[in-house]
């Protein structure tokens, strides 16, 4: 069983996100270790990109901080290789298609395997274009995580049928970022997915409070939190390890109660 | 060939949230482009509102001064709103209306596409939000006010380099926020399928008119068609009708800013590499990690780090060639056309004029060059004065 499948076996999963290299790679490494200890079941690591069109202001700024601090794809791979020896949690990259394409697709996925990356989430690679990466993902056994959105409707079945790893259910319209209220009928989305696949579904976009995490984990297989964590990192910088760990612990507890 | 591809370029690399929206645009466009009512409404708007056909003007003084090929100017600057952008915008905003959308959003660089979109939205009674890099709202204050005058809301974009690419990012983000009642009126032959095709179809009237007007005046095809290229909509519009006529040289002029060897340039073909960004596989100015480069040009309309996918294909197949023109060359051409023909071109279009000044003397007097004057230069006068060290108080 893959590390990703395993992450969903012990009940509802809590998935946390961190932008690689924000504020620096050393801190990212410590954050990954601390988040695993605090109970994160899967960790997404953002490869910083100059133009992250699916991100709200909080993660955009994290991307800018990481890039100006000198984070590159190679340096991030090196850090991940190191941290992989310390953690067993599944690690998934979140990035845009251009950094992967420009790095060289074959080389990129080869390094994913070497460094212990289990999957990739690419927000600007929809179902119709997934063959761009599918061959290399299959070749190297890295899961290409599919996203479904509130507007997917008749597309859900098609996407879910071919999903690998887990399915990322986008809770809301728009970009990433903390939201006080999420109106989408997540239940309906999840039941459509359930009709065609057993792949686990985790809900993300806009979740920041334990109540929201509990609510969405109760109707799915897990909750994904990004901007709320990145916000803590932007506030505390290198000293964010403890506050982030405390936050993850609280969120994980909420998810387990779901 | 896969849907929406130009050779290997193009495609539909957008977030899942937008996939049904782009599919809806494609379906509507495929239907309405053959709908007699839609076609006749658009033709009427082109003729009665935009002032088409635009003139093909023989630049006698310029021709004599350069002493080589005969030079014709395609006067897109005479269109309503002052540029070729109106051709695309009338088509797309009319499409939005037919689709039952009540709001349009658009990015803009120099402000020409924003002004054109705001104009069409006012005409057709749609809500309009324009996203414009903060640096560009500062460079083009007059156009910001013009858009507001037309009833649009202008949102200065403060992320990234605060120019055209960031305006595109923000307009895409806004479309994912509110897609139900909104159409993204993309301004160039770029972005995800179907936009490169739709925009080219609405702009190809430029080349079609050039062909028939020149046939009337000279009884033949031109030897070269020259146009400036940012995303590439006026060039694609001017080129498209001539792609099969392989005797016609197609030349796109890119913004080289301070020079192709200086980091401050926006010459995508000269300096770019293949990548996937803003919904399309094409050629982009970027570093080895795929980070999009902070490009620069004196012309806000050409200050874009990519090029439309159909241009990338024309370059790759060798059908069109692309040449870099510096700020200095463009400013000189801006002044030259003003003094020689009494026509103040947009600083974007001045890039095409600059290359014609190099090419014409090398060609025989029996040859014909058509330069697409994609827009008028009133909006640039203050910036050119600044460039020349003249302080203008408006």
**CA-based nearest residue in chain B for residue A48:** B291
> In this predicted model, what pLDDT tens digit does every residue of B43-98 receive, in sequence order?
999 999 999 999 999 999 999 999 999 999 999 999 999 999 999 999 999 999 99
Nearest to B16 among A49, A53, A152 (CB): A152
Please, where are the H alpha helices in chain B?
16-32, 36-44, 60-66, 85-98, 112-124, 134-139, 141-149, 164-177, 195-203, 205-218, 233-239, 268-271, 309-316, 327-341, 347-359, 381-387
Contact check, Cβ <8 Å, B15/A147: yes
Residue of B10, B13, B293 best to disrupt the A interface, most CBs of A under 10 A: B13
What are φ and ψ of residue A21, in 5° steps?
85, 10
pLDDT at B110 over 90: no
pLDDT at A1 over 80: no
Model's pTM, two decimal places? 0.96
> In this predicted model, what pLDDT tens digit does every residue of A221-251 receive, in sequence order?
999 999 999 999 999 999 999 999 999 999 9
Q: Is A229 left (phi over 0), alpha (psi -120 to 50) or beta?
A: alpha
Residue of B2, B4, B8, B17 best to disrupt the A interface, most CBs of A under 10 A: B17
**CA-based nearest residue in chain A for residue B282:** A98
**CA-based nearest residue in chain A for residue B12:** A129
Establish whether B107 is a catalytic residue: yes
Which residue out of B76, B241, B374, B379 is catalytically annotated?
A: B374
Contact check, Cβ <8 Å, B15/A60: no
Residues from chain B contacting residue A103 (CB–CB below 8 Å): 289-290
| pLDDT at res. B109 | 87
Residue ranges of chain B whose CB lies within 8 Å of a chain A CB: 3, 11-21, 159-160, 165-166, 169, 172-173, 176-179, 273-279, 284, 286, 288-292
Residues from chain A contacting residue B169 (CB–CB below 8 Å): 51, 53
Q: Are strands B273-277 and B279-284 parallel, antiparallel or unpaired?
A: antiparallel
Query: Do residues B76 and B346 lie in contact, with contact meaning Cβ atoms separated by under 8 Å?
Result: no
Give whole-number Cα distances, B122 to A3, B70, B102, in Å: 56, 40, 12
What are φ and ψ of residue B266, in 5° steps?
-135, 35
Q: Stretch A105-125: mean pLDDT, rounded?
A: 98
| pLDDT at res. A84 | 98
Q: Stretch A99-127: mean pLDDT, rounded?
A: 98
Nearest to B289 among A72, A125, A129 (CB): A72
Query: Do residues B161 and B169 lie in contact, with contact meaning Cβ atoms separated by under 8 Å?
Result: no
Q: Return the higher-pLDDT residue of B368 and B3.
A: B368
B153-157, strands of its sheet edge to edge: B153-157, B127-133, B103-108, B182-184
Torsion angle of alpha carbons B83, B88, B91, B93, nearest 10°?
-80
Give the Cα separation of B357 and B332 in Å (integer): 10
| pLDDT at res. A182 | 80
Cα-atom radius of gyration of chain B, to the nearest Å? Answer: 19
pLDDT at A215 over 90: yes
Give the Cα separation of B195 and B92 in Å (integer): 10
> In this predicted model, what pLDDT tens digit does every residue of A44-95 receive, in sequence order?
999 999 999 999 999 999 999 999 999 999 999 999 999 999 999 999 999 9
Count A/B contacts: CB-CB distance under 8 Å.
Answer: 115
| pLDDT at res. B139 | 79
Q: Output DSSP code: residue B242.
A: G
> In this predicted model, what pLDDT tens digit does every residue of A19-51 receive, in sequence order?
999 999 999 999 999 999 999 999 999 999 999
What are φ and ψ of residue A145, in 5° steps?
-80, 130
In sequence order, the β-bridge partners of residue B155 are B131
Give whole-number Cα distances, B332 to B137, B347, B374, B384, in Å: 25, 10, 17, 10
Contact check, Cβ <8 Å, A50/B276: no
Establish whether B374 is a catalytic residue: yes
Residues from chain B contacting residue A227 (CB–CB below 8 Å): none
Give the Cα separation of B276 and B12 in Å (integer): 10
Nearest to B276 among A50, A98, A126 (CB): A98
Residues from chain B contacting residue A151 (CB–CB below 8 Å): 16-21, 179
Using a pLDDT cut of 70, give the percent of chain B over it.
99
Length of chain A: 258
Establish whether B101 is a catalytic residue: no
| pLDDT at res. B350 | 98
**CA-based nearest residue in chain B for residue A132:** B13
Contact check, Cβ <8 Å, B15/A126: yes
What's the angle, vertex CA A245, arms to CA A240 and CA A248, rounded to 5?
Answer: 125
Helix or strand or coil: residue B298? coil
Give the Cα separation of B363 and B383 in Å (integer): 33
| DSSP letters for B82-111 | GBTHHHHHHHHHHHHHHTT--EEEEEESSS
Contact check, Cβ <8 Å, B20/A54: no
Give the Cα separation of B271 and B54 in Å (integer): 34
Torsion sign across C-alpha atoms B190, B194, B195, B197: positive
Nearest to A126 among B12, B277, B286 (CB): B12
Give the Cα separation of A123 and B218 in Å (integer): 53
pLDDT at A138 over 80: yes
Which residue out of B85, B165, B211, B281 is catalytically annotated?
A: B85
Residue A115's contacts (CB-CB under 8 Å, 6 or more residues apart) are A77, A78, A80, A81, A84
Name the minimum distance, in Å, from the CA of A246 to any CA of chain B: 31
pLDDT at B394 over 90: no
| pLDDT at res. B137 | 92
Residue ranges of chain A whose CB lies within 8 Å of a chain B CB: 49-51, 53-54, 56-57, 60, 64, 67, 72-73, 96-103, 123-129, 132, 147-153, 155, 159, 170, 173-175
Give the Cα separation of A228 and B111 in Å (integer): 36
Query: Do residues A222 and A41 lie in contact, with contact meaning Cβ atoms separated by under 8 Å?
Result: yes
Helix or strand or coil: residue A20? coil
Using a pLDDT cut of 90, give the percent of chain B over it.
93
Question: Exposed, middle or buried: residue A253 (CB in 10 Å: 0-12, 13-18, 19+)?
Answer: middle
> In this predicted model, what pLDDT tens digit does every residue of B258-311 receive, in sequence order?
999 999 999 999 999 999 999 999 999 999 999 999 999 999 889 999 999 999
Average pLDDT, chain B: 96
Give the Cα separation of B380 and B267 in Å (integer): 20
Contact check, Cβ <8 Å, A98/B21: no
Name the minimum distance, in Å, from the CA of B14 to any CA of chain A: 4
Residues from chain A contacting residue B279 (CB–CB below 8 Å): 124
Length of chain B: 394
Nearest to A54 among B12, B15, B165 (CB): B15
């Amino acid at each position: 069983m893959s590390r990703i499948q395993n992450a969903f076996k012990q009940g509802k999963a809590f998935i946390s996100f961190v932008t690689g290299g924000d504020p620096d790679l050393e801190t990212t490494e410590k954050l990954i270790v601390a988040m695993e200890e605090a109970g994160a079941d899967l960790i997404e690591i953002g490869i910083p990109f100059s133009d992250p069109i699916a991100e709200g202001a909080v993660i955009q700024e994290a991307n800018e901080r990481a890039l100006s601090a000198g984070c590159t794809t190679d340096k991030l791979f090196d850090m991940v290789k190191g941290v992989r020896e310390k953690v067993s949690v599944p690690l998934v990259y979140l990035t845009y298609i251009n950094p992967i394409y420009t790095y060289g697709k074959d080389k990129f996925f080869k390094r994913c395997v070497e460094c212990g990356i289990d999957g990739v989430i690419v927000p600007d690679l929809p179902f119709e274009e997934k063959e761009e990466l599918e061959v290399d993902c299959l070749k190297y056994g890295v899961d290409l995580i599919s996203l479904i959105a509130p507007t997917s409707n008749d597309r859900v079945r098609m996407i879910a049928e071919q999903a690998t790893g887990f399915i990322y259910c986008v809770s809301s319209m728009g970009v990433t970022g903390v939201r006080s209220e999420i109106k989408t009928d997540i239940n309906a989305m999840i039941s459509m997915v359930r009709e065609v696949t057993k792949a686990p579904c985790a809900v993300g976009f806009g979740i920041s409070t334990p109540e929201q995490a509990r609510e969405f984990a109760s109707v799915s297989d897990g909750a994904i939190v990004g901007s709320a964590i990145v916000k803590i990192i932007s506030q505390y910088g290198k000293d964010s390890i403890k506050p982030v760990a405390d936050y993850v612990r609280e969120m994980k507890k909420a998810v387990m109660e779901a | 060939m896969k849907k929406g591809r130009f050779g290997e370029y193009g495609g539909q690399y957008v977030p899942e949230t937008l996939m049904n929206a782009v599919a809806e645009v494609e379906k509507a466009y495929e239907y309405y482009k053959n709908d007699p009512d839609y076609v006749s409404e658009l033709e009427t708007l082109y003729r009665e509102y935009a002032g088409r056909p635009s003139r093909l003007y023989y630049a006698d003084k310029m021709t004599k001064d350069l002493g080589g090929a005969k030079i014709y100017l395609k006067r897109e600057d005479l269109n309503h709103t002052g540029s070729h952008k109106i051709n695309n915008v009338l088509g797309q905003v009319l499409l939005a209306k037919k689709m039952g959308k009540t709001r349009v959003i658009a990015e803009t660089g120099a402000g020409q596409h924003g002004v054109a979109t705001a104009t069409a939205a006012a005409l057709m009674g749609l809500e309009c939000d324009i996203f414009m890099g903060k640096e560009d709202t500062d460079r083009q204050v007059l156009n910001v006010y013009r858009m507001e005058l037309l009833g649009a809301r202008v949102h200065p974009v403060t992320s990234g380099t605060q120019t055209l690419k960031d305006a595109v990012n923000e307009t895409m983000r806004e479309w994912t926020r509110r897609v139900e009642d909104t159409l993204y009126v993309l301004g160039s032959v770029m972005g995800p399928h179907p936009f490169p095709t739709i925009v080219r179809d609405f702009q190809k009237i430029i080349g079609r008119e050039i062909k028939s007007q020149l046939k009337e005046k000279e009884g033949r095809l031109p030897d070269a068609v020259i146009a400036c290229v940012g995303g590439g909509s006026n060039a694609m519009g001017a080129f498209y009708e001539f792609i099969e006529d392989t005797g016609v040289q197609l030349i796109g002029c890119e913004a080289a800013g301070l020079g192709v060897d200086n980091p401050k340039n926006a010459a995508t073909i000269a300096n770019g590499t293949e990548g996937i960004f803003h919904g399309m596989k094409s050629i982009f100015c970027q570093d080895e990690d795929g980070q999009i480069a902070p490009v620069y040009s004196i012309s806000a309309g050409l200050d874009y780090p990519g090029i439309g996918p159909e241009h990338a294909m024309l370059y790759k197949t060798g059908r069109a060639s692309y040449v870099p023109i510096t700020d200095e060359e463009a400013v000189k051409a801006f002044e030259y056309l003003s003094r020689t023909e009494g026509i103040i071109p947009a600083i974007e279009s001045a890039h095409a004029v600059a290359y014609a000044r190099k090419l014409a003397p090398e060609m025989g007097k029996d040859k014909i060059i058509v330069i697409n004057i994609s827009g008028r230069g009133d909006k640039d006068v203050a910036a050119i004065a600044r460039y020349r060290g003249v302080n203008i108080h408006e």
